[in-house]
Amino acid sequence: MDSVNTKPTTQCHVVAMPYPGRGHINPLMNLCKILASKSKEILITFVVTEEWLGFIGSDPRPDNIRFGSIPNVIPSELVRAADNNSFFEATMTKLEAPFVKLLDQLKPPVTVIIHDTVLFWVVGIGNRRNIPVASFWPMSASIYTTFHHRAVEISGSKCFILGVGTGRAVQVWGVGRLHPHVTMPLPSAAKWIKPSQGVFKTNMDAAFGSSYSVIAAVARDWRGTVVLAQSLKVNTSIPLQAEATTLVWAFNLAVAVGFECVIF
């Protein structure tokens, strides 16, 4: 861990724990740089694996941001695309213990922990140690909406979640596999709902990988109610191609479920 022996005058010690991926580390680091710019009395310890410390350890950063490293207990970033499910499983089961050990070594005492929302186990650590925990969502609002409504149960005639494209895509995103004992299955009584009037607004997004992408579409009716939330794994890693596929897929999806007037 770099700068472990530095003793800056600090009134607030923030520990930042990102999900170990470029699209998660960069946004959280940007947030930390903003926080660090507010006051020199804010000390931030940014936690990464030893491998990631080698990737970004020399990047420019404010003096009041230091790195805290934990052992490489998860698959390498260089090969994780070969089995993303196993990589995700490792982040859920193998990162917690070394993270706790690192917390025990940090000085001054930790004031607050900011963690990537995907790493839900950080909340339990904060609760056990009486440390406030803030959850950071690094992805787009439309993907958050898909995650959120994926777990919503049907209540009466209101059905917010209507299905997902493929079970594999759900596993890739971690939905329904956040913990071996926690699942969020789609209720068997789910059905499509078509409001009787107005216009549908569809938001789309794509998450790009090295060998495939995951696309998502969320539709709201004229009252703002979510009436569709679907995701799909597609075999392309080219951003422009994935975005074009998202548009065509969302259009066909709207037609398939009987939407008569849609704004994309």
Closest by Cα among 147, 126, 127, 151 to 137: 147
Q: Percent helix, strand and coil across the chain, each rounded to 5?
A: 35, 25, 40
| Residue 103: Cβ within 10 Å count | 20
Q: Where are the alpha helices (DSSP H) in 154-262?
A: 167-173, 239-256
> CB 238: neighbour CB atoms within 10 A?
11
Which residue is it, tokens 């926080």?
35
CA angle 34, 36, 40 (to 5 degrees): 145
Please, which residues bridge with residue 48 across strands? 69
Report how far residue 68's alpha carbon sits from residue 185's, in angstroms, rounded to the nearest whole number: 37
Residues with a catalytic annotation lie at 24, 116
